[in-house]
Amino acid sequence: MPDFKRKLSSRQEDAETVLCVGLDPDPNRLPQGALRTVETVDAVIQFNRAVIEATLPYTCAFKLNFAFYEVLGRDSFDAIRATLDDIPPDVVTIADCKRGDIGNSARLYAKAVFDDLGFDACTVAPYMGLDAAAPFLEREGKAAFVLGRTSNPSGATFQELDCNGEPLYKTVARHIAKWDNHYPGTSGLVVGATRPEAMRQLRDLCPTLPFLIPGVGAQGGKVRNIASTYAGTGSIVVSCSRSILYASSGEDFAVAASKAAREMRDVLAVHVLRS
C-alpha cells in the first residue's frame, strides 16, 4: 500500500487536479432523479454513485462528512461502505468526522476509520492534544488532517485567542509540524479558504504539510487566495461540496455536477497549479 503522500501525488499528477469532491448527501436536498427507491439510504447510495461517476475525471479525492450519513440511522455505515466501494482505489478518500477523544477512545476511532472502513485520511480535532491525534498519526500510510484555521464564522472564538503572542491556530500548527516528524503517518492541516491571511501564515510555518482546504464555493472562499498555499513542497486538496452536489436540483444533477467539477478543476489549474 502506498503511503498517503505518494497516493495523493500520483492521483493529482495523473488527473491534473487538486479538487476534492465532498460527498455530503443531505436527504432533504436530494434531487428527485436520485429518489429511485422508497428507502432514503438507497437513494443516498444511488446519488453518491452518480456523482462519483460524473466527477471522477476531475477529482483527486472524495471526502465523506459523517454527519450526512449518521442521520440515516442504523444503516448509516452501510451507506458509507457502499459509497467507498464505488470510489476507485487510486483515488484518495477522506473521512470528515473530526475525531478528538482521549487515547483509548481515539485508538478505536482510528481502527474504525482506517481498518474497518478503509479510509486514507481522517479529520481530527486538536483540542485534547497529542493523545487525541497520535492513534491516527501512528498509522503508516494514512493521514490525519488536524483542524487549524477553519472556515466557519465562529472559528475565531478559540482559534485566534492570543497564545504567547500569536494566535492559537499558529501554536497548534507548530505542534502538528513536530508530530509529522515523529510519527509514521502523515500530519496535515485543515485550513479554510475563507481565511487567506491565515493560509499564508500557516504555509510559511508548515511548508511540507498537506493542506485540506474547504470553504471554496458555497462558503465564499476565493480560488485566487489559495495559490500561496501551493508554495514549497506541501500539497493541497481543495474541497467543494454543495456547489457541485447541488449544481442542479433536477434529474440532470449528475450532468450539472460534472460540469461544476470540471469548471472548478480548470479554475484551480489556472490559479493554483500554473501560478
The catalytic residues are 98
**94 and 64 in contact (C-beta within 8 Å)?**
yes
Give the CA distances from residue 87 to residues 43, 103, 141, 173, 247, in Å, rounded to whole numbers and listed in that order: 17, 31, 18, 31, 21
248: cell is 442542479
Query: Which SS3 state, helix, strand or coil, does residue 19 take?
Result: strand
Distance CA 241, CA 219 (A): 10
Number of C-beta neighbours around residue 251 at 10 A: 11
Beta strands in the chain (DSSP E): 19-22, 61-65, 92-99, 121-124, 143-149, 162-163, 166-167, 186-191, 211-213, 236-240
242: cell is 454543495
